[in-house]
Amino acid sequence: MAKSDKVRVAVLGAAAFSEVAHIPGVNAHPQGEVVALYSRDLARAQEMAGRTNVPLVTDDLEALLARDDIDAVTVPSTNLNHYLYTVAALKAGKHVFCEKPMALNAEQAAKMTRAAQERGLVNQMSFIFRYTLCVREMRRLIAAGAIGTPHYVTIEQQGYSWFRQQQQTWRTFAGEHGAGQLGEMGSHCFDTVNFVCGHTSGYIAELAAITHLIPRTVEGPDGQPQPVETLDLASCLIRTQKGLGGEIITSRATPSHSQLGGMGVVVVTGEKGALLANLTRGNAEVMQRLEPGKSWEPVTLPPEATDGTPHAIYRMLGSFVDSVLRGGVDPDQDADFEAGYRTQSAIDATIAGGASHRWEPVATAI
């Protein structure tokens, strides 16, 4: 595709995040345009399209993907549909931006990755923390040797919120939501370790895990109780290919102890010090540095890091438009489907480790 062309995008799903991120994120790029919105709930899609000025609305996915005036799709639907819609779009020759978690399991993620690679189509994952200034700076400083050789990484991502959902939704069921909290936020945590430390320490290669589901029911559409099937907590010890150790906790069943806000905190420590960054959508970023014998000190970030605007949304969806224009992702910034596969393998290993009480292997490549 020539750089002068518009990238014409169909959004496959009328989820809330479609309106918050996918539609405005693509449209904010001068060469990006959301031209269609698909949903099985046509009325919901029509209402959203009216608010966001999307010209075409449909509940016929096959017909939409057959159009030659659609270059690419984004997939902000249920976790089960990440696999179904992505494979259908790739078969139709469309470039794909997929929400996290990539799929319900690593087998699906591998099929998605191979399908994209075999067709030479752009494939990109929605790992938004890669597009925050603090996480990018952390990656750069680690690569520059600012803290020496990293020997431990931690991510704390907690929020005591398991009780909020009282009505049945697709997130109630493992067959549609997959691994629950582990998939929704754990996928981000695994990718953050791989992105920040992978170029120096290798990718996560094994882990040991504890998982937990709080037994409870929610109200179904018929008024009857429906058991919740998806995980509320996962806590992992991890080890990368080159021996970097660490721990990750992602939980909606325990309270956060961080005072920094956002959706979690990552800390990487080496013999020359430590770096800390919070995990946000780019609206209220925090970064700190610790040197031996000193106190934590703030790392100066550009003013936009704290101006209240979720800049990472626009950088992320804009990067997908750029990827389509140039015919591939930027490996120094973007997560392709193979990166998504690595996180999905880590999710599967966490579930297996929670049951086996043993260290489990994590795939680092297809």
Question: What domains can you pick out in the chain, each with its CATH number?
Answer: 7-127+317-334 (3.40.50.720), 129-307+342-361 (3.30.360.10)
**The pLDDT value given to residue 229:** 97
Distances (CA, A) of 101 to 144, 185, 187, 349: 31, 8, 6, 14
pTM score, whole prediction: 0.97
The amino acid at 33: E
Q: What is the pLDDT of residue 110?
A: 98
> Which pLDDT belongs to residue 258?
85
Which regions in the chain score pLDDT beneath 70?
Answer: 1-4
b/e burial code for range 268-282 (CB count within 10 A of at least 16 → b):
bbbeebbbbbbbbbb
Distance CA 188, CA 262 (A): 13
* 8-state DSSP, 46: H
Neighbours of 262 (CB within 10 A): 20
Residues whose CB is less than 8 angstroms from the CB of residue 267 and which lie 6 or more positions away in sequence, other chains included? 153, 154, 155, 274, 275, 276
**How far is CA 19 from its chain centroid?**
17
- Cα(180)–Cα(251) distance, integer angstroms: 10
d(CA 363, CA 366): 7
pLDDT of residue 261: 72
Per-residue pLDDT, 2: 42
Distance separating alpha carbons of residues 66 and 246, to the nearest angstrom: 46
